[in-house]
Amino acid sequence: MFEKPLLIETADGSFTFSLPTQKVTYRSKYGARRESQQVFLGGSQILKQSSSPWRIVELGFGTGMNFLETARACFERKVALEYVSFENKPLGLSELESVISANGYQDESASELVRAVFSDFEYSQKDRRIKARDRSLSLELCFCNWGDIDFGQDKFDTVYFDPFGPKSQADSWGPSAFAYAFSLLRVGGTLVTYSSAGQVQRLLKSVGFGVQKLPGPAGKREVLVAHRI
Ligand SMILES: C[S@@+](CC[C@H](N)C(=O)[O-])C[C@H]1O[C@@H](n2cnc3c(N)ncnc32)[C@H](O)[C@@H]1O
């Protein structure tokens, strides 16, 4: 039985869920939207690129905030986006609706895609991969563990590496998780994560990444950006 998530307001006025007994929040309590924008969208430099579509793969769909923020920014700048996300403990559609509307995304086509994918999933309860598309935006959810699907090599420009922290999800921070991320990226592609732990830097380097630190958002001194060399 999964714990019921609690909707909380974070320091920048945006909302996320917390799981109080596990002592985790889906996005930072110091600013959920700011974390998505600065760490993931900002770290990946998507909006400075000229190529389109931009192809992102994410470890951990959670509340969908990274997807919704990225889709909004790509829409404003006319960049096509192909977004694939892995999620092994999905929130329910009604929970997603509450966080989508608390954050003001409810009328955007990206939130329509979230609804389409999660209602298909709730209806079928067995499809592991569900995809929805609206013009230059596509969303594919892989309802399984990170690493369980073979996409072939070099398929993505960016990895959003976003599990809960290693204290609660140690397996998601192991060498095989980073090796899989490396294999999915094209040469020159980028992995971004909110962690800056020494162990994470060492693992990234051990699978072949070049690692850089960037200033973090509120509540985090530094975050990591890793490049497939
Ligand atoms: C920090 S939350 C993700 C937040 C999300 N990106 C957002 O914008 O709201 C971590 C999510 O990753 C999922 N997760 C963690 N490890 C995973 C794994 N190995 N495979 C698939 N999903 C995983 C968790 O179930 C959880 O929903």
- How far, in Å, is the centroid of ligand 1 from the Cα of 134? 24
- Tell me, yes or no, whether 212 lies in a domain: yes
Ranges of residues in the chain with a pLDDT under 70 are 1, 127
- How far, in Å, is the centroid of ligand 1 from the Cα of 145? 10
- Tokens 């490396």 label which residue? 182
Please name the residue ranges forming H helices in the chain. Answer: 32-35, 43-44, 65-76, 93-102, 109-124, 175-184, 198-206
- Tell me, yes or no, whether 198 lies in a domain: yes
Residues lining ligand 1, CB < 6 A? Answer: 26-27, 36, 59-66, 86-89, 145-146, 162-164, 169, 172
- Tell me, yes or no, whether 137 lies in a domain: yes
- Tell me, yes or no, whether 19 lies in a domain: no
Tally the domains of the chain: 1
> Residues 40-85: pLDDT tens digits?
999 988 878 777 899 999 999 999 999 999 999 999 989 999 999 9
CATH number, domain containing residue 155: 3.40.50.150
- Tell me, yes or no, whether 204 lies in a domain: yes
- Tell me, yes or no, whether 66 lies in a domain: yes
**CA dihedral in degrees (127, 142, 51, 41; nearest 10)?**
140
- Tell me, yes or no, whether 156 lies in a domain: yes
- Tell me, yes or no, whether 8 lies in a domain: no
Q: Is this prediction's pTM over 0.85? A: yes
Strands 185-193 and 156-161: parallel
Which residues form the domain of 203? 33-228
- How far, in Å, is the centroid of ligand 1 from the Cα of 119? 19
Q: Which atom of ligand 1 is nearest to 16's Cα?
A: 9
